């Protein structure tokens, strides 16, 4: 594949045991070859550790449909910003510079890179009862400042992006980073989206490591949708949003292998979503 102006958005998860700086060497190789790279990262494990150390441990919201998400009150959001925007983001940017990459770390708040609406009241199950949570600071990315990201790429930089996002009136909100990465890939017309984390792909039965779904056709996502459980639901949704928005290829793959980018891109590691798989 030509690397001329080829653009790839890489999301690396923030789960336990994932060291996002292990992507630095491969990102340096890609940018040297002329590929334009945007890195999006999480930070959930670091946030949990920090929250625990500060005596304000992470809480989970369970929706009536069984979906789990982080409870984000203002104090949690402040701890979240320390971990995601301070610790993880700057450590990655520093390590990329050490590898000769001109990196720029930004949250979705900065320059309005990720703007979205905050959720209204959230229905949650607490002690078996349905309650309404009104002060949760979470939402979904609805627009991306693609011009600014394009400018960074056009001057040879690697943007390193992280939640939170921000509402149009300036309130920081927690958003799903997989879907934010997908929205970013669409906004800048990326060719490829890689979703790398401590799960190595989408499985028909996530208890059976032999049941990896290797290929998914963008036009028949039903099997993938129904196989996805828990956090994998957002990854499949992100893949779908990227494909619908014009991204040619999405890989849900492992961040925990040697050379994870090459593994996902070249060796078809994990689950590859693309158009016309069965053709």
List residues binding a copy of itself (CB under 8 A): 50, 53-55, 78, 81-87, 89-91, 93-100, 102-107, 109-112, 148, 151, 155, 157, 164, 166, 169-172
d(CA 173, CA 163): 8
CB contact at 8 A, 91 and 110: no
Smallest gap from Cβ 163 to a copy of itself, in A, equals 11
Distances (CA, A) of 172 to 136, 161, 163, 269: 11, 14, 9, 35
In the bound state with a copy of itself, the residue whose beta carbon lies nearer, of 112 and 245, is: 112
In the bound state with a copy of itself, the residue whose beta carbon lies nearer, of 94 and 126, is: 94
Structure-token pair, residue 62 = 């369970």
Smallest gap from Cβ 35 to a copy of itself, in A, equals 19
In the bound state with a copy of itself, the residue whose beta carbon lies nearer, of 31 and 234, is: 31
In the bound state with a copy of itself, the residue whose beta carbon lies nearer, of 50 and 250, is: 50
**115 beta partners:** 143, 166
Smallest gap from Cβ 145 to a copy of itself, in A, equals 9
CB contact at 8 A, 243 and 191: no
Structure-token pair, residue 91 = 């450590």
In the bound state with a copy of itself, the residue whose beta carbon lies nearer, of 57 and 230, is: 57
| Residue among 121, 263, 143 at smallest CA distance from 196 | 263
Smallest gap from Cβ 94 to a copy of itself, in A, equals 5
Smallest gap from Cβ 218 to a copy of itself, in A, equals 35
Three-state DSSP class for 68?
A: strand
Q: Which residue has the tokens 């625990």?
A: 52
Smallest gap from Cβ 98 to a copy of itself, in A, equals 3
In the bound state with a copy of itself, the residue whose beta carbon lies nearer, of 77 and 202, is: 77
Structure-token pair, residue 123 = 């229905």
């Amino acid at each position: 594949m030509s690397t001329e102006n080829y653009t790839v958005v890489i999301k690396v998860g923030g789960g336990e045991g994932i060291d996002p700086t292990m992507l630095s060497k491969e990102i340096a190789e890609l940018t040297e070859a002329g590929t334009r790279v945007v890195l999006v990262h999480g930070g959930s494990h670091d946030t949990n550790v920090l929250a625990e150390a500060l005596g304000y441990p992470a809480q989970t919201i369970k929706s009536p449909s069984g979906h789990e998400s982080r409870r984000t009150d203002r104090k949690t959001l402040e701890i979240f910003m320390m971990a995601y925007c301070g610790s993880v983001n700057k450590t990655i940017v520093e390590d990329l510079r050490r590898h000769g990459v001109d990196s720029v770390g930004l949250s979705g708040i900065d320059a309005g890179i990720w703007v979205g609406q905050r959720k209204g009241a959230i229905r949650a199950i607490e002690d078996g009862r349905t309650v309404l949570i009104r002060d949760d600071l979470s939402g979904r990315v609805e627009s991306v400042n693609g011009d600014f990201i394009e400018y960074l790429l056009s001057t040879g930089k690697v943007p390193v992006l992280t939640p939170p996002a921000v509402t149009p009136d300036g309130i920081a909100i927690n958003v799903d980073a997989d879907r934010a990465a997908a929205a970013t890939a669409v906004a800048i017309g990326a060719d490829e989206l890689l979703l790398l984390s401590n799960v190595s792909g989408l499985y028909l039965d996530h208890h059976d490591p032999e049941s990896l779904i290797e290929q998914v056709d963008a036009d028949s996502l039903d099997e993938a949708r129904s196989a996805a459980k828990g956090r994998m639901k957002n990854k499949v949704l992100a893949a779908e949003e990227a494909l619908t928005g014009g991204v040619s290829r999405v890989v849900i793959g492992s961040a925990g292998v040697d050379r994870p980018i090459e593994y996902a891109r070249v060796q078809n590691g994990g689950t590859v979503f693309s158009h016309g798989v069965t053709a």
